[in-house]
Copies of this chain bind each other. A is one copy, B any other.
């Protein structure tokens, strides 16, 4: 019985193969009774949607360019140019005002040619990339790290150094794709940094589990496993792509129940990461987001991650309904406006 209780409520538990000491588990449980441990988890899907609606900035005529979000995407290599484009254009279509892509020199002309809406900085492969980046960091509201980044060790070194500066300035980060590969081998780069959402797919999540010492082969509840990994990383947010996406900060655990699409074409995760950066920024901007986790009882990244996963699933479902097996990520991105208007925009904000 005690074992079951630990399994249900403790930050990690025996049987998960986690390595934190028993005393810590008991202490954590004692300090966080169930009622305060699950602010979001106790809400209905409709109530969560209302919370999401409350963080969406109203569109007023008094706003200036940039106020709805200046999003940075760090990614793009010689091989991969589609991923950061999808993340950047998704951020714009969701309502961000500006999207900056920071990529390798060889990838830049290609990005630019995809769309004149993007601002592309081609210095990521330069020797002084971290220095060049310092000029831009203060202007960014949130940053996605990883889409199409590739696995060049020199680029990883640069990006890890840029991450140090981003963390110093407390920028909200979303880490996906090769960015996850990078941090799986450099866990200290994210550990204990609260302003981060990881968006792993199944393979990336398993890699993360192994890195933190969790056993993925046990016959355990996927939500609890995800929660445990988050907890072992110091309570950062994991928005795990799954049959029903799982979002947790090691305290709350939410599940996105929308169906999504059976189509598994590449690029869908990039829509999600771009959207997560925008929602995370919006969430942090509100009074709810500006309160500390202890005061508000909820992590703004959980709401941001949940909103992005829900948007992504609904876009996928809608696009699949139209294009079936032919659906590609561009079709999903074309659904953003329609899905946002239908499910996310408060009616009073419709103009």
Contact = CB atoms under 8 A, between A and B. Distances in A.
Contacts of A43: none
Contact of A340 (B62, B118, B265, B326): B326
Centre residue among A78, A115, A118, A266 by max chain B CB count within 10 A? A266
Contact of A62 (B64, B79, B243): B243
A287 to B, nearest CB: 21
Contacts of A326: 92-95, 336-337, 340
B117 A114 contact: no
Interface string A66-110: 111000000000111111011000001111011000000000011
Interface stretch (A119-127, A164-172, A192-200, A293-301): A119-127
A98 B66 contact: no
Interface of A: 59-68, 78-83, 85-86, 92-95, 97-98, 109-110, 112-122, 201-203, 243, 259-260, 262-268, 320-321, 323-326, 328-330, 336-337, 340-341, 345, 350-351
23 contacts: A60-B262, A61-B243, A61-B260, A61-B262, A62-B243, A64-B201, A65-B268, A78-B122, A79-B119, A81-B112, A85-B116, A92-B326, A92-B328, A93-B326, A95-B263, A113-B114, A115-B330, A116-B267, A116-B329, A262-B351, A324-B345, A326-B337, A326-B340
